[in-house]
Amino acid sequence: MTGAQQTHPTVTLVTTEQQLQHLERRLRAEATLSIDTEFHAERRYYPQLLLLQVAAESGEAWIIDPLAVPPTALRPLLDNRAWVAHGAANDLRVIHHACGARPSALLDTQLLAGLTGQPFPARLADLCRDVLGLAVDKSAVLEDWAKRPLPPHQLAYAAADARLTRALSEGLLREAGARAAWAWAAGAEAIEEALNGPDTDLQWQQLEVAARLDAPARSAISALFAWREQEAIEQNQQPHSILNNNIALDLARRRPTSLPDMARNRRLPAVLIKRHGADLLRVLQQASRSAAAVPGPTPTPASASIARLLTSWADAYAAEVGVAASLLLPEPLRQRFALGLSAGIEGWRAEAIGGRLDAFFSGAERLCFTPEGPRLRPAG
């Protein structure tokens, strides 16, 4: 590649659109691209993409500098391709925001590991040690990735992650066997979850006090969390820096109707009232007019108890089949079962769980607590 800076025999730094176009043509026939990113997320809603690393099946790696190449130019390389990545949620969000690209399929080595008996969520360095027998130096992870020129040790670190992710995927796939199909299906779910944005109702429903809020307070906090998310997007700030959970709960419970009333809580920052007081009053007033339409599902003390029981069931079954409990029954799915809103297990989980959860619900299996942890036993 003309003008390319070689940082390793098989690692190339890409700093021009011409190089990027050449790379896109070079990798067009690759079945999968191993992807990694370096970004700064502090005090931002959308993390700033500072490096994109791509590794091919051959082990070659490229480091693309989005401070030198327009980030939108990355889309032809990445869009509608199968990606391999580790803990891909942030990579998905930062790449999609930078250039609009989304993968056609995703193999997330963190998910794959959790489906094959490894801890979940596990760090890349830990899995490389346990699966590949490789020691990985992660000391550069919190260094300044916006500084240019990047020193050689940062470039080497960045390229290594993409190459190691590919090697790790190959090692895990050998262990996974038929479960590889579950990993690709779980990856499809991860794409949707990462790119569809957060469920703001689920955020407040997971608060410990959610089950004790009355209907007007639930309507108010639902509206406040939705407003906070939109405001964070518009200002490119972290949602909690706009309105933290404790203040949102206070406002939802008190539902002030004026700025002086709002300020009666001495812990409510004056700067919040100055910047957002009028908007917060408007949100609360609108929520009060629609309080009859309380968002669901709404936790109750009984549903919280059922959810805790389902957590123990998932722990017991996970120990039996070697799949991480939080993948078998993630928190949103446990809540839906606890509230009676789920008709059953679907997708890859139907194969992974089979009829065992139905057997537990029907009483055919019971949950026992042993020194090794919860275990499932036949009833009777």
Q: Are 222 and 201 in contact (CB under 8 A)?
A: yes
pLDDT score of 293:
61
Give CA–CA dist 207/162, Å, rounded: 36
Mean pLDDT of the chain: 91
212-244 burial, b for 16+ CB within 10 Å, e for fewer? ebeebbbbbbbbbbbbbbebbeeeeeebeebbe
Give CA–CA dist 357/313, Å, rounded: 8
pLDDT at 36 > cutoff 90: yes
pLDDT score of 9:
46
pLDDT at 19 > cutoff 80: yes
For the entire predicted model, the pTM comes to 0.88
Paired strand residues for 106: 83
Residue 249 neighbours by CB under 8 Å, 6+ apart = 207, 209, 221
Strands (E), the chain: 5-8, 11-14, 33-40, 48-55, 61-64, 82-85, 105-108, 365-370, 373-378
Q: For residue 355, what are its two tokens?
A: 């009829």
- Convert the pLDDT of each residue in 193-227 to its tens digit: 999 989 898 899 888 888 888 889 999 999 999 99
Paired strand residues for 368: 375
Q: What percent of the chain has pLDDT over 90?
A: 72
Give CA–CA dist 14/61, Å, rounded: 10
- Convert the pLDDT of each residue in 282-305 to its tens digit: 999 999 887 556 666 677 888 888
- Convert the pLDDT of each residue in 175-196 to its tens digit: 999 999 999 999 999 999 999 9
For residue 56, give Cα distances in angstroms to 29, 65, 134, 378.
10, 18, 20, 49
pLDDT score of 297:
63
pLDDT score of 345:
86
Q: If you search the block for the tokens 């700064």, which residue do you land on?
A: 40
Q: Where are the domains of the chain?
A: 5-195, 200-289, 301-378
Fold for domain 200-289?
DNA polymerase; domain 1 (1.10.150)
Task: Report the first-to-last Cα separation within the chain, whole angstroms.
Answer: 71
Strands (E), 75-169: 82-85, 105-108
Q: Are 334 and 311 in contact (CB under 8 A)?
A: yes
CATH architecture of the domain 5-195 equals: 2-Layer Sandwich (3.30)
